[in-house]
Structure 1
Amino acid sequence: MKPALRPPTITDVATAAGVSPMTVSRVLNGRGGAGEETRQRVLEVAQALNYRPNAFAQSLKNDRSNTVGIVVPDIVNPFFPEIIRGAELVARPAGYTLLSCNVIEDPEREEEVLGTLLDKRVDGVIICSARLDDERLLHAIAPHRAVVLINRSAAKRHAGTIEVDYRSGVEAAVTQLVAQGRRRFGFAAGLASSHGGRKRREGIEAVLARHGLALVFDAPCTPDIKGGAEIAARLLPEAARLDTVVCYNDLIALGLMKPLERAGVRVPEDIAIIGCDDIPAASLVSPALTTLRIAKQDLGEMAMRMLLDRIAGRNAQQGIVIEPDLIWRATTPTL
């Protein structure tokens, strides 16, 4: 068996070009110090040999890896790939490689991944909808050079933040439904560890309290279609007590709708349903889902720009709050 061919080194380029390794280094790093003929010869030889600089060695020398991480709770949820896409659109032109990490809604894995990214010497990290509690999250991000949190608050010395104002969005939707005569609200709350879930509940309860009402159904579930089906199983025996269900996200709402239909519960006549996120399927199901729309790609782009600023030591913009848009469709009564 032939031994594997080793990748070419800077010494190989220097020997083939008839110059010193120092000259090759200066040419490839754009530092000058060589005539035009020598520069062209070095570049041609490097290309012919398919020479690639040792990125790890360069990162040690420059204290930069030109990589950044993005951590999401569940890559299967259509909400998060669009955020990753937006982040990638900003990172790549800036010369950064984006490492995407899926923690499958597991706080332990989230903590482990943040440690792994630190070991990989990433220059910064974006964390979407962190599931760690405040103390563990702050401990995990403290060693990182630059951090941006999406849908989580933190002091500016710890991280830049971009938050969606779910509370005001839910308040607007519930206010409309109360004005239409809806009184018996339920909440399919998602994970108990979700910061955004707590904000949604606050929005519902604020409106209901103003009208002397209270939630008649409030249950946690996984933030996916299976979670919606589980909510349906719990909700159906007491469906007559409800006329509206606000869901943590669209996936839960979609998982809830089919069991209701099979049970003969009409949407929205018997129970109105509201989702959150406006994933593509929300407008394709029948009846089409009323939801809160977040510009997810824009969210990723904003987060990456903020992260690059923090990597560069420019921390002028510490926090952004985004207002979601209420998209009124057929799972709620006509306005």
Structure 2
Amino acid sequence: MNDPKTRRPRQADIATLAGVSVSTVSRVLANEPGISETVRRQILKVAAEHGYPVKPAIETVAGGLALIASDGVTGGLSIFYEAIVDGLRAGAADAGMPFDIRLVREDRTTPDAVRDYMKAAGAEGLFLVGIDPNETLRDWLQASMTPTVLVNGTDPRMQFDGVSPANFFGAYEATHRLLKAGHRRILHLTGSHRHTIRERIRGFEAAIAAVPGAEGRLLPMTFQSSASREAHELTLAALAENAGFTAAFCMNDFIAVGVLEAVNEAGLRVPEDFAIVGFDDLPCALMTNPRLSTMRVDRAALGREAVSLMLSRFRDRTAPARHNCQAVVPVPGGTVPNAEPVRGADDL
């Protein structure tokens, strides 16, 4: 007669000890998806304690859904978000993460709509790309403990993970390049409700404040038409005041193109009479004459880093939120004299 202590346990024995069905035990031991992690761990623990041979577990990664603000990607900034999506796709593929994308109107990101999008995609994690969640959505994401990563976004309350360019420091450096070249009256063309853009405004103002005698002026934009066209009109109006402004730091390169056109139209030489620095290093920066001096954002790296944050959030859904900044690198061009970046304000 076999000794029950030495008899190899059967799946029925594991099921009885774990308090689940035999079919559930079978699916867990075969590494099949669709079983909660709590039940899976319990069955594997019982199996290991009773000497049941278990195949090495194949780690399964929950799916992710990227919601992207359609107002941004269907306009001039499509090239900016295209590279971010490439990074998201590459990072998800490397991690074995099922991944889907949906374009949405930012004002329609209600909890019910987001829940439906995620259910249809079979996703557990949410990437908000270029979207700052409204208060109602924030509350639902937190209450449901939905793993969420803001991509090209920041959360001033640090309730959600996020990844973004170093907007404050990048704007500070961009303005510093103009100050280093001797400019003391500098325009900043900008405009957005987004926290990321507000950080660029703060960086501009901090750089101006660091230099005695320097003055900066914000030229708010509405973006009701072409960004370049609006920037062109605003710059012409500012130059017509003869207020002594000799340089401009622009929120992005599209805006910088409009500024450059206006300066040329006003009969000023670039960079001798008027200097310009853009932001993002978009393809249009290579097409201007002279070539635009700008700040490079590694958009694909933002996407890959967002996936890394999501994987960490899947592993620990109660950990404190993290925000990662990607360095913004100065790109020399012909719209700033001696455009090689010099860091720090001490040598101004």
Question: Do Structure 1 and Structure 2 share a fold, with TM-score over 0.5?
Answer: yes
Question: Structure 2 vs 1, CA of residues 94 and 264 (structure 1 numbering), >3 Å: closer, same or farther?
Answer: same
Counterpart among 227, 247, 251 of residue 250 in structure 2:
247
How far, CA to CA, are the matches of 1:81 and 1:293 in structure 2?
Answer: 15
Partner SS state of residue 277, structure 1:
coil
Q: Is the CA contact 2:61–2:95 (under 8 Å) kept in the aligned structure 1?
A: no
Question: Structure 2 vs 1, CA of residues 238 and 218 (structure 1 numbering), >3 Å: closer, same or farther?
Answer: closer
How far, CA to CA, are the matches of 2:175 and 2:282 in structure 1?
Answer: 20
Q: How does 1:178-257 map to 2 (within 5 A)?
A: 178-191=179-192, 193-210=193-210, 211-222=212-223, 226-239=226-239, 240-241=242-243, 242-257=245-260
Residue number in structure 2 paired with 1:267: 270
Partner SS state of residue 215, structure 1:
strand
Question: Structure 2 vs 1, CA of residues 169 and 312 (structure 1 numbering), >3 Å: closer, same or farther?
Answer: same
Give percent identity, aligned residues only: 22
How far, CA to CA, are the matches of 2:94 and 2:83 in structure 1?
Answer: 18
* Structure 2: runs of 5+ lacking an equivalent: 1-21, 38-59, 340-348
How far, CA to CA, are the matches of 2:261 and 2:203 in structure 1?
Answer: 26
How far, CA to CA, are the matches of 2:116 and 2:188 in structure 1?
Answer: 36
How far, CA to CA, are the matches of 1:271 and 1:235 in structure 2?
Answer: 11
Residue number in structure 1 paired with 2:95: 94
1:72 and 2:68 aligned: yes
Cα deviation, 1:224-262, whole Å, max 9, x if unaligned, reads x81221122122023143211111112222243334434
Residue number in structure 2 paired with 1:330: 334
Residue number in structure 2 paired with 1:5: none
How far, CA to CA, are the matches of 1:88 and 1:173 in structure 2?
Answer: 30
Shift of 1:189: 0.8
Question: Structure 2 vs 1, CA of residues 221 and 330 (structure 1 numbering), >3 Å: closer, same or farther?
Answer: farther
Which region of structure 1 is more displaced relative to structure 2, 312-321 or 170-179? 312-321
Output the aligned Cα RMSD.
3.2
Residue number in structure 1 paired with 2:294: 291
Shift of 1:132: 4.3
Q: Is the CA contact 2:181–2:336 (under 8 Å) kept in the aligned structure 1?
A: no
Partner SS state of residue 215, structure 2:
coil
Shift of 1:297: 0.9
Cα deviation, 1:293-319, whole Å, max 9, x if unaligned, reads 121111111111110221232758823
Q: Is the CA contact 2:132–2:150 (under 8 Å) kept in the aligned structure 1?
A: no
Partner SS state of residue 73, structure 2:
coil
Cα deviation, 1:128-175, whole Å, max 9, x if unaligned, reads 332445x3452253235211113212556x422223221112212222
Cα deviation, 1:16-63, whole Å, max 9, x if unaligned, reads xxxxxx99xx79x9829xxxxxxxxxxxxxxxxxxxx9xxxx75x659
Partner SS state of residue 216, structure 2:
coil
Q: How does 1:1-335 map to 2 (within 5 A)?
A: 31=30, 66-73=62-69, 74-76=72-74, 77=77, 78-103=79-104, 106-111=105-110, 114-120=114-120, 121-133=122-134, 135-142=135-142, 143=144, 145-150=146-151, 151-153=153-155, 158-191=159-192, 193-210=193-210, 211-222=212-223, 226-239=226-239, 240-241=242-243, 242-313=245-316, 315=319, 318-335=322-339
What one-letter code is carried by the residue in structure 2 that aligns with 1:332? V
TM-score for both structures, normalised by structure 1: 0.72
